[in-house]
Chain A
Amino acid sequence: MSGNKRQTDGMYESLLRRAAPDRTAWEDLVVVPIFAVVVALLLGAVAMLATNVDLATVGRSYVALVSGSVGSFNAISETLTSAIPLTLAGLGIALGFRAGMFNIGAEGQLLIGGMAAVITGFSLPGLPMIVHVPLVLLVGALAGGLYAAIAGWLRAATGAHEVISTIMLNLIAYRLVDYLLRLDFIQREGRSDPISKSVLESAELPRLLTWLDPNLRLHAGVFLMIGAVIFIHWLLFKTRLGFEFRASGENPEAARYAGMRAGLVIVLAMGLAGALAGLAGANQVSGVLGRASPGFSAGIGFDAIAVALLGRSHPWGVLLAGLLFGALEAGGRQMQVDAGVSIDLIGIIQALIIVFIAAPLLVRALFPWGFSKARPSAKE
């Protein structure tokens, strides 16, 4: 089969690269991303000009984009706050990719995890914070993980395609959340719209920078994010289980012949991915929102797919991609306020950045100068 040959070629290539990172690798890793961001911003400006935004406003909106993402303590705090759930859920999706599965279901897992976390957060008064917060996070992760494990189990036991089952589980999760939010036990007293009670103070992730300025929203979830990145890196590259994940993703047949437990790998990978998405949901309700309302996931589960792709399914790459997306989001909000340009522009810029980073060949074709001509023959 042609696939096997390609696989060996790819292996040699990556071995060679690790031994001697040549100029192309450096270009792919550093120059192309910088290029991608710059070109995407330029094209974003073109989009603004095309919709009758004058040049001064374009300038102002990009100033706002920068100042709103990295220009002040508040901006950096906002960037990090937005990056946390994106990175967590993105790590889950990256893990799925590594194990050969496409998990579209992060959105649903995030909703279920967040709901479980919010219930734990308001229904157990009297717990000390040191117990309550970890409990909330744990319950969120567990709920998200179990929910995703359904799709994994279905795939392992019956061969049901995980794309289809995670899409269906997303749709089910939306309805389930709508239903739960109207239960007396969960709905906030005196409200007729679907909104949950607020989590208790003891269940809130502590804010970190209130000593600087009480408005800074950055919370302890940031440690969770970094811890998760390190943990997933360790799991994927330093443990037997991680090796099994990667082997099953690269070549399921070979992994099976090597005696790896294909079904178990699928269920575990999916469950872990869901746990990370659930953790992202718990993090949102306990660190940012303080309660749940319909659609509190706000599309994070779908943006996380882009984050995982952009980070090339590598934990540290996912962290960088999450930070970039978080920065764009925080800056985009500032842009909307300062320049009156719709935050939807950020969506266009994000898509363009991904396409340029994902298609080094395209970037080289569009901008032939500045890149070395010679490329490793294995890529041809």
Chain B
Amino acid sequence: MTSTPISGPVAQKGKKLDTTKVRQAHVTGWILLGLAVLAAVVFGAGSEGTATFRLSRPNDPWALPDLLIPAAAFNYLVAAVLAFLGVRQFLRGGLRWTSLSLGLGMALAVAAFLVWATAGKGFSLTGMLQATVVAAVPITLGGLAGVLSERVGVVNIAIEGMLLAGAFTGALLGSLVGGIGGLVAAVVIGGMFGFILAALVVTYRVDQIIAGVVINLFVLGVTSYVSSQVYSEHRFLNNAPIFSPIRIPVLADLPVLGPMLFQQNLFVYGAIVMVAVATYYLFHTRMGLRARSVGEHPRAADTLGINVYRTRYINVTVAGMVAGFGGAWFTLGSVGRFDENMTNGLGYIGLAAMIFGRWHPVGALMAALIFGFANSLQQKLALLNTPIPSEFLAMAPYIATIVLVAGVVGRARAPAADGEAYVKE
């Protein structure tokens, strides 16, 4: 990671780094030019009439007028901007804004696609954004759980299992003692699995990935076993109440933002608060600094008198509690009932969101919003009858993620001691 100050190799290395950067800038340029062609030839030439985006619902107090966009003209404009951004990559100074250009280009391409799909029809933008936020909740919380434990140097593959355990416990206890009880139990169980993960990797020095995979297998086994063995006969055990949305006065009436952020249920507010608290904790408190030092260089931290083992135990347990809360969303926050393997890999997407977000809570939130957006886009677009097979629409976000990770986040660095057991001397 650190280069030694020897003139020859460093100069050579610097030069080589530059060529990589140039190549990356050029690749980005080609991608942007490709998107420009796509926007012009397919989306521009292929759209007629006006795309109507509804921003308000009928009985909103402060109604905004519908957004009317002349489809073809808008898409040609987007194509022009994309072409400009693309060409810029090859000119002098093109290296400086590579990531930003790529991000902006992707966003513009999505906008052009939406306008093309909506041309001549109407589409509720607010509804989609609201669905985006909802879909992002479990991914955000999963990603946050990942951030919290990987920042202290514990790789957390077990997010999936912790989410599933939270969902299961939420449904079971929610059915027996009510929503709040279920939520608390889900958080406790999530924390318990966090503690187990910490015990396995810190005290018993099991390989971190093995420990995570084991927890996932175990939780999947137990929850599937109970739901097929017990729930089929005793249905009342799997019939939990659902948390209803809480309107925040005044703010909930804001157009677009109101339905998106201020008419949601507990889980959405909880996720936002947790991201804020985690960011403050990790980057603005002494405890957070200590936690991060444990993840970067445990021996140095130990030498300074930080208890590496205790720090790892605490942070990984808290990560588990966050994931347990996120898991409860699946049952108490959305359908009120547990199904086998209902997290369906979202924990792994949370893991991807964490890496995509560069091991930062806010980054994980942003990445989760992108995944959530893609998810809701795909669902809403089914209503619009586009000629593209829905499977390809469903694939698009994942392909975009690969492109973005390769182009933008490629050089993101995990905490230095991530995945290493620490043995006190």
A binding-site residues for B, Cβ under 8 Å: 2-3, 47, 51-53, 102, 104, 154, 157-161, 163-165, 167-172, 175-176, 178-179, 305-306, 309, 341-342, 344-352, 354-355, 358-359, 361-362, 365, 380
Contacts and interface: CB of A to CB of B under 8 A. Distances in A.
A171 B345 contact: yes
27 contacts: A2-B299, A51-B225, A154-B405, A163-B351, A163-B352, A164-B351, A164-B355, A164-B405, A165-B405, A168-B398, A171-B395, A172-B398, A175-B392, A179-B389, A309-B209, A341-B229, A342-B224, A342-B229, A344-B224, A347-B217, A348-B222, A355-B200, A358-B206, A358-B210, A361-B204, A362-B200, A380-B423
Given A102-B209, A354-B210, A355-B214, A164 B410 contact: no
Given A160-B405, A175-B392, A51 B420 contact: no
A365 B412 CA distance: 39
Nearest to B421: A6
B214 A358 contact: yes
Contacts of A104: 348
B285 interface: no
Interface string B402-413: 100111011110
Given A51-B226, A175-B392, A347-B220, A158 B213 contact: no
Contact of B205 (A52, A306, A361): A361
B229 A164 contact: no
Given A104-B348, A161-B405, A359-B204, A354 B423 contact: no
A362 B349 contact: no
Task: Please report whether the interface of chain B is mostly helix, strand, loop or mixed according to DSSP.
Answer: helix
Contacts of B395: 171-172, 175-176
Contacts of B399: 168, 172
A359 B355 contact: no
Contacts of B406: 154, 157-158, 160, 165
Interface in B299-330: 299
A51 B206 contact: no
Given A165-B402, A346-B221, A158 B24 contact: yes
Nearest to A183: B389
B236 to A, nearest CB: 15
B398 to A, nearest CB: 4
Contacts of B410: 158-160
A365 B394 CA distance: 48
B228 A342 contact: yes
Interface string B106-128: 00000000000000000000000
Given A158-B24, A358-B210, A348 B218 contact: yes
Given A159-B411, A309-B210, A354-B214, A179 B392 contact: yes
A172 B220 CA distance: 23
Interface in B141-200: 200
A359 B391 CA distance: 42
Nearest to B298: A2
A254 to B, nearest CB: 15
B401 A164 contact: yes
B402 A168 contact: yes
A49 to B, nearest CB: 12
A53 to B, nearest CB: 8
A362 B210 CA distance: 14
A360 B210 CA distance: 13
Given A167-B351, A344-B228, A354 B391 contact: no
Instruction: Give me the 3 closest cross-chain CB pairs, A-B, nearest first.
Output: A347-B221, A351-B218, A348-B221
Interface in B373-425: 389, 391-392, 394-395, 398-399, 401-402, 405-407, 409-412, 420, 423
Contacts of A51: 225-226, 229-230
A168 B222 CA distance: 27
A53 B391 CA distance: 43
A169 B24 CA distance: 22
Contacts of B218: 347-348, 351-352, 355
Interface of B: 24, 200, 203-207, 209-211, 213-215, 217-218, 220-222, 224-226, 228-230, 299, 340, 345, 348-349, 351-352, 355-356, 389, 391-392, 394-395, 398-399, 401-402, 405-407, 409-412, 420, 423
Given A159-B410, A344-B228, A350 B217 contact: yes
Nearest to B219: A351
A341 B412 CA distance: 47
A296 to B, nearest CB: 16
A52 B229 CA distance: 9
Nearest to B209: A102
Given A163-B351, A347-B221, A380-B423, 20 more contacts: A158-B24, A164-B352, A164-B355, A164-B405, A167-B348, A167-B351, A168-B352, A168-B398, A175-B394, A176-B395, A179-B391, A305-B213, A309-B207, A309-B210, A348-B221, A348-B222, A354-B213, A358-B211, A359-B200, A359-B204
A85 B356 CA distance: 32
A252 to B, nearest CB: 12
A152 to B, nearest CB: 12
A298 B142 CA distance: 24
A229 to B, nearest CB: 21
Contact of B225 (A2, A52, A342): A342
A318 to B, nearest CB: 14
Contacts of A344: 221, 224-225, 228-229, 340
Contacts of B349: 167, 171
Contacts of B225: 47, 51, 342, 344-345, 347-348
A165 B349 CA distance: 11
B356 to A, nearest CB: 7
Nearest to B217: A351
Contacts of B401: 164, 168
A306 B213 contact: yes
Contact of A160 (B205, B207, B210, B402): B402
A306 B420 CA distance: 20
A169 B405 CA distance: 13
Contacts of B200: 355, 359, 362
A361 to B, nearest CB: 5
Given A2-B299, A361-B205, A175 B407 contact: no
A158 B407 contact: yes
Contacts of A342: 224-225, 228-229
A192 to B, nearest CB: 16
Contacts of A53: 229
Nearest to B378: A175
Contacts of A165: 402, 405-406
A104 to B, nearest CB: 7
Contact of B214 (A2, A346, A349, A351): A351
Nearest to B412: A161
